[in-house]
Amino acid sequence: MAERPDMIRIGKYELYWLNGGAFELDGGAMFGVVPKVLWEKKYPPSRGNNINLVAHPILVRTPESNLIIETGLGNKLTEKQRKIFNQKDEWRILDDLRMVGLSADDIDYVILTHCDFDHSGGLVSRKGDDLTLTFPRARYLIQKKEWEDVKKPNKRSAHTFWPVNFEGIEESGNLSLVDGEMEVLPGVALSYTGGHNRGHQIVRIESEGECALHLGDLLPTHVHFNPLWVMAYDNYPLEVIDLKERLEEEGISREAWFTFYHDPFVRACRFNEKGEVIEEVKVSPS
């Protein structure tokens, strides 16, 4: 029997991690200029130079609304793509929603920190020969700059902004472009950052004096806490360093939970001023 998704509480809000698939990427790309002899002590390679990653969206349940942050790998990868990224687990966030008593129609908002394929893959789903919005009632919240780059990608971003992941979104009327800051609902706010992508954004979640920060790919795993441990995938690495210093300082001062989308070991944790994990929620064994 399937287990309920991992969960933490932020005041009145519940955060659940949904299974959006598991895959592998090159460890050197994930840790940039950090030598393997350093990063492998904290994050063991899976095979060769690859490391295991997950793409697990976060469901935020408030008394009034249901939000999903990121959408997983989706169900549209070709066999070639599945092989390239060594997809290890199927996208089954709809099954996990049912485990907590929800359906796709119950989702009010879908937030993307950015539009890389591993974050946007579940916006649109394949049903037979058709592509349909996975969450037909939801508002899809994406930064305006990021959407501009989806529409006119450069040579680098064209390899990660896959058109199939955005099929029919504009025509649906569900797309809402954010220009900088936005309060989605009381206690849930979006802030533009840039850094990883030109249009990257983060999510702050606050309720009853408690706080969680979802920094997207500025902080893909708990091992990336060191501001200098940036990815080769970061388009603007010097910006990422500055952003991490500022946002991590904010989170530590507020005793906030940092939540992770790609981490196969830790769902969320708190850090101290030395960057040490002082409290964590580990990924439940599957």
pLDDT digit string (tens) for 48-72? 889 999 999 999 999 999 999 999 9
Beta bridge partners of 130: 127
Distance of CA 259 to the CA centre of its chain: 9
Beta bridge partners of 178: 143
Using alpha carbons only, give the angle 42, 45, 46 rounded to the nearest 5 degrees.
Answer: 135
Give the dihedral sign, CA 161/166/169/175.
negative
pLDDT, averaged in runs of 10, over the chain (286 residues): 84 97 96 96 90 98 96 96 92 96 98 98 93 97 98 93 96 96 97 97 98 98 97 97 98 97 98 94 88
Q: For 67-124, how does the pLDDT look when each residue is reduced to its tens digit (9 = 90+)?
A: 999 999 999 999 999 999 999 889 999 999 999 999 999 999 999 999 999 999 999 9
Can you give 49-67 as a three-state secondary structure string?
CEEEEECCCEEEECCCCEE
Domain 7-282 listed as CATH 3.40.630.30: no
- Kindly report the pTM of this predicted structure: 0.96
At position 176, the amino acid (one-letter code) is S
Q: What residues does each domain of the chain span?
A: 7-282
Tokens coding 143: 């930064």
Spatial contact of 4 and 46, defined as CB atoms under 8 Å apart: no
